[in-house]
Amino acid sequence: MKTAFDIKREKSKQQIQEAALILFAEHGFEKTSIRMIAQKANISLGLLYNYYAGKDELLKEIFRLGRQDIHATLAPDNDKNPQNDIENHIRLTFKTLKQNRPYWKLVHSIRMQSPVMQKLETEIKAENELIQRKIEENLFNAGIPFPGLEAKLLFATIDGIVNHYLLYDNYPVDDIANLLILKYREQAQKHRSV
């Protein structure tokens, strides 16, 4: 059970992360100082340093939290139907996105900044490879032909849909997700009947 101190500590860390994310998006990673983050989070500079050694560590923590959400979308459905794992991944990806659109919009905006990419290149590359392997495994288990290439296509398609959803307020993300699910459902059924 969490103590009052633990709860307060978690709240302070969350305030710092939210402030950093907003400032990184507004001013860029390089132009955002630790002092700016502390002021935006309404905490002392010393307290911020109790939680994070610097903004590089804070940036990595923000992306780590996002990765946790992404990993949750890749969890198997455990219903013995491998096709459902693909559908589950697509549905959960967009559900997660819709539940915290402002967060993902900010993450995507700072993800494209060159200094951020340089600092997180290794982590982002490893994460993308892990996601792609899991998608490929799900496609293979569902009997989709060319699962390696199809995983690249599905990953890029989802990334494109995510970007459009974050850029355009009235983007029909649910309709697009349903169409994508239908495509893979039909492809799996076609392959099983051959």
Kindly list the domain boundaries of the chain, sorted by start residue: 1-52, 62-193
Phi and psi at residue 144, in whole multiples of 5°?
-75, 130
Comparing CA positions, the residue from 76, 98, 82 lying closest to residue 174 is: 98
Q: What is the pLDDT of residue 6?
A: 82
CA distances from 84 to 17, 41, 77, 145, 174 (A): 34, 42, 7, 17, 17
Residue given tokens 């010393």 in the structure block: 46
Average pLDDT, the chain: 88
pLDDT of 181 higher than 70: yes
pLDDT for the residue numbered 41 = 95
177 burial via Cβ count (<10 Å: 0-12, 13-18, 19+): buried
Kindly state the average pLDDT of the residues 96-104: 87
- Report the interhelical angle of 55-73 vs 4-27 (nearest 10°): 100
Q: What angle do CA 101, 106, 107 make, to 5 degrees?
A: 95
The predicted model scores a pTM of 0.80
Q: Give the homologous superfamily in CATH for domain 1-52.
A: Homeodomain-like (1.10.10.60)
